[in-house]
């Protein structure tokens, strides 16, 4: 008996010693990594010379965080996760029963109470304390929402499509009811429209990457083709949005075929790099062909979309929407209209994708993704299969592009850099290639999450007035890409419903499906 306890103590001592040692290493490595870049900042002085500004305090914080994090991970988190596995095995619960221990009714009630108290208390507090209250409130609200999702998960998963569409349709109405017409702008535009554009782009790219397995790193080129064809044709010929929307789609699809044709023989990484090159070539041509595209300055004053030509959103037009209905003038109506427009376009994309997957062409795409050689030997024409995938994917990119031009009223090559392609591809992969729901969730998390940073003004009270959270947007996006990829390489939704099946429909783990070598 004594033996056993002493062995336990010995193990615990070993663990602490190991954790301390690992923490020391982590501290040294992070010191090495950050000493030049965080510890010193190259800044310009008044005479425009570079000087160094030391920031040793910040460096110390980085190193301490690395050490403490590593220590906690080795000493507590890893043993805890290991013990949870034992508990799972002993109780016969599934691995996801961790969640049932994390989301409990008492905790939920506590979180609701905390958020209510924080909302009530925040009014009377000074700014810097209120900032902390806001953080706690935010965390409590997120936790209670997650709890709600978890408690009603079965209901939500069975009725997901209906619920999601209903929530999205009601979203602007609810927002207007809460914040008023002017206050709703930010929520409808920055969150609603912005996220839905990415959802649509990612769903369009999903046809190419997720279904046909053709890794495309230049998807933003088709977005650019759509945006520029709307901007140029509407300003040159005065055509309306509703004529140009299909036209932009057709033009983008055409470009998809043109760019798809040379790369038919390529596979995997090489395909990715060539499409990246094509995307960059298109952007550079848009940038340098100033006679047509107006170069880096871009095209401004792009016409707004109208409600099928019946009501316009131009302030001076006689059939202005607000005037027609006797409403006070506001730019919110246009944004709400755009929200429903992009929602309809995105749903169209999803509908087409779902339908195509049941058709021979969709089956051929998925077969191509799994094994190109088997596909060819079974008599599938890989040329047309690949070209249709490129064309249809590009078409939705073109739709999204013309929508983008109508929304911004301005297009320039700046909006179509490689980073955008990378972001869209990241959303597709992080969502779980081929899974429409997963991709929508990934878009909401990644794009919405980075948009939320703009809203974190209260952090200025904690980190000082120079702190601008939106600077960290892309840094966090990149880190999130890496973390999600390492943690869940198959994306948020790692399983796929097969479209073709024998006897019964069984969801397969994403690990069994191959990514494209086509």
Partner 1 sequence: MEYFIQQLVNGLTLGSIYGMIAIGYTMVYGIIGMINFAHGDIFMLGGFAALIVFLILTGLFAGIPVVVALLIMLIVAMLMAGLWNWTIEKVAYRPLRGSFRLAPLITAIGMSIALSNFIQVTQGPRNKPIPPLVSSVYNVFGISISLKQIIIILITVVLLSVFWYIVHRTPLGRAQRATEQDRKMAALLGVDVDRTISVTFVMGAALAAVAGTMYLMYYGVVVFTDGFIPGVKAFTAAVLGGIGSLPGAVLGGLLIGLIESLWSAYFTIAYKDVATFSILAIVLIFKPSGILGRPEVEKV
Q: What six digits make up the tokens of 240? A: 């309306």
Can you give the length of the chain in residues? 518
Minimum CB distance to partner 1 smaller for 265 or for 503: 265
383 binds partner 1 (CB under 8 A): no
Kindly determine how many residues on this chain lie close enough to bind partner 1 according to the rule CB under 8 A: 58
DSSP 13-61: HHHHHHHHHHHHHHHHHHHHHHTTTTTEEEEE-TTS-EEEEE-HHHHHH
Q: How far is the CB of 19 from partner 1 (least distance, A)?
A: 18
Q: How far is the CB of 351 from partner 1 (least distance, A)?
A: 27
Q: At which residue do the structure tokens 């009601």 appear? A: 170
73 binds partner 1 (CB under 8 A): no
* Residues 6 or more apart in contact with residue 378 via CB below 8 angstroms: 367
Q: Binding string, 162-201, against partner 1, x = CB under 8 A?
A: ----------------------------------------
Angle (CA) 199 226 273, round 5° = 75
Q: How far is the CB of 78 from partner 1 (least distance, A)?
A: 15
Q: How far is the CB of 487 from partner 1 (least distance, A)?
A: 9
50 binds partner 1 (CB under 8 A): yes
Q: How far is the CB of 241 from partner 1 (least distance, A)?
A: 31
Rule CB under 8 A: choose which of 11, 29, 65, 77 binds partner 1. 29
373 binds partner 1 (CB under 8 A): yes
Q: Binding string, 317-356, against partner 1, x = CB under 8 A?
A: ----------------------------------------
477 binds partner 1 (CB under 8 A): yes
DSSP 51-92: EEEE-HHHHHHHHHHHHHHHHHIIIIIHHHHHHHHHHHHHHT
Interface with partner 1 by CB under 8 A: which range of 149-157, 181-189, 263-271, 319-327? 263-271
Residues 272-311 that bind partner 1 (CB under 8 A): 272-274, 276-278, 280-281, 284-285, 288
Q: What six digits make up the tokens of 336? A: 């709400």
60 binds partner 1 (CB under 8 A): no
Interface with partner 1 by CB under 8 A: which range of 30-38, 136-144, 236-244, 250-258? 30-38
CB atoms within 10 A of CB 385: 24
456 binds partner 1 (CB under 8 A): no
Minimum CB distance to partner 1 smaller for 129 or for 508: 508
471 binds partner 1 (CB under 8 A): yes
Rounded to the nearest 10 degrees, what angle do helices 2-34 and 56-72 cross at?
150
User: In this structure, are residues 188 and 336 in contact, taking their beta carbons and an 8 Å threshold?
Assistant: yes
Rule CB under 8 A: choose which of 43, 314, 414, 457 binds partner 1. 43
479 binds partner 1 (CB under 8 A): yes
- Structural Rg of the chain based on CA atoms: 26
Which of these, 104, 85, 83, lies nearest to 94 by C-alpha position?
A: 85
Minimum CB distance to partner 1 smaller for 52 or for 94: 52
CA dist 445 to 367, 441, 506, Å? 30, 6, 28
Q: What six digits make up the tokens of 399? A: 């739709």
Q: What six digits make up the tokens of 304? A: 């707004």
Rule CB under 8 A: choose which of 13, 32, 360, 449 binds partner 1. 32
Q: How far is the CB of 387 from partner 1 (least distance, A)?
A: 15
51 binds partner 1 (CB under 8 A): yes
Q: Binding string, 410-429, against partner 1, x = CB under 8 A?
A: --------xx--x--xx--x
228 binds partner 1 (CB under 8 A): no
Q: How far is the CB of 326 from partner 1 (least distance, A)?
A: 48
Q: Which residues pair with 410 in a beta bridge?
A: 300
User: In this structure, are residues 214 and 444 in contact, taking their beta carbons and an 8 Å threshold?
Assistant: no
474 binds partner 1 (CB under 8 A): yes
Minimum CB distance to partner 1 smaller for 115 or for 513: 513
* Residues 6 or more apart in contact with residue 67 via CB below 8 angstroms: 23, 24, 26, 27, 30
Which of these, 107, 119, 118, lies nearest to 144 by C-alpha position?
A: 107
User: In this structure, are residues 337 and 307 in contact, taking their beta carbons and an 8 Å threshold?
Assistant: yes
Q: What six digits make up the tokens of 156? A: 């939500």
478 binds partner 1 (CB under 8 A): yes
First to last CA, the chain: 62
Number of H helices, E strands in the chain: 23, 6
Binding region for partner 1 (CB under 8 A): 29, 32-33, 36-38, 40-44, 50-52, 215, 262-263, 265-266, 268-270, 272-274, 276-278, 280-281, 284-285, 288, 373, 418-419, 422, 425-426, 429-430, 471-472, 474-475, 477-482, 485-486, 489, 514-517
């Amino acid at each position: 008996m004594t033996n056993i306890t002493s062995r336990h103590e010995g193990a615990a001592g070993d663990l602490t010693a190991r954790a301390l040692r690992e923490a020391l290493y982590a501290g040294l490595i992070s010191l090495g990594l950050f000493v030049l870049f965080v510890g010193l900042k190259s800044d310009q002085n008044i005479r425009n010379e570079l000087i160094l500004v030391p920031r040793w305090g910040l460096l110390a914080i980085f190193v301490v965080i690395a050490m403490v994090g590593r220590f906690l991970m080795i000493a507590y988190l890893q043993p805890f996760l290991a013990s949870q596995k034992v508990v799972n095995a002993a109780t016969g619960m599934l691995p996801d029963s961790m969640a049932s221990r994390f989301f409990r009714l008492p905790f939920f009630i506590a979180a609701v109470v905390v958020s209510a108290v924080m909302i009530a208390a925040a009014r009377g507090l000074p700014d810097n304390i209120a900032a902390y209250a806001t953080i706690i409130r935010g965390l409590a609200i997120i936790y209670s929402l997650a709890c709600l999702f978890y408690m009603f998960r079965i209901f939500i998963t069975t009725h997901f499509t209906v619920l999601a569409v209903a929530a999205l349709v009601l979203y602007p109405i609810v927002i207007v009811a809460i914040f008023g017409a002017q206050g709703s702008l930010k929520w409808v535009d920055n969150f609603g429209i912005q996220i839905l554009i990415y959802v649509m782009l990612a769903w369009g790219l999903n046809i190419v990457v997720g279904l046909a397995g053709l890794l495309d790193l230049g998807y933003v080129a088709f977005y650019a083709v759509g945006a520029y064809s709307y901007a140029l044709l509407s300003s040159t010929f005065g055509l309306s949005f509703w004529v140009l929307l299909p036209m932009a789609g057709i033009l983008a699809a055409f470009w998809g075929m043109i760019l798809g044709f040379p790369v038919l023989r390529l596979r995997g990484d090489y395909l990715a790099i060539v499409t990246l090159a094509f995307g960059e070539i298109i952007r550079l041509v848009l940038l340098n062909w100033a006679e047509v595209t107006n170069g880096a300055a871009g095209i401004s004053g792009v016409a707004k979309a109208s409600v099928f030509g019946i009501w316009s959103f131009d302030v001076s037009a006689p059939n202005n929407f607000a005037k027609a209905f006797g409403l006070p003038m506001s730019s919110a109506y246009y944004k709400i209209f755009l929200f429903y427009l992009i929602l309809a376009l995105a749903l169209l994309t999803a509908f087409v994708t779902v339908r195509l997957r049941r058709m021979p062409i969709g089956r051929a795409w998925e077969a191509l993704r799994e094994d190109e050689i088997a596909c060819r030997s079974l008599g599938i024409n890989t040329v047309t299969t690949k070209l249709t995938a490129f064309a249809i994917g590009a078409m939705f990119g073109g739709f999204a592009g013309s929508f983008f031009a109508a929304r911004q009223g301005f297009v320039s090559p700046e909006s179509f850099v490689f980073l955008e392609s990378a972001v869209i591809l990241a959303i597709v992969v992080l969502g779980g290639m081929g899974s429409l729901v997963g991709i929508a969730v990934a878009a909401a998390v990644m794009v919405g999450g980075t948009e939320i940073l703009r809203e974190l003004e209260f952090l200025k009270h904690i980190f000082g007035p120079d702190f601008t959270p939106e600077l960290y947007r892309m840094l966090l996006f990149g880190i999130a890409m890496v973390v999600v990829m390492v943690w869940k390489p198959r994306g948020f939704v790692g399983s796929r419903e097969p479209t073709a099946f024998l006897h019964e429909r069984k969801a397969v783990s994403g690990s069994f499906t191959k990514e494209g070598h086509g």
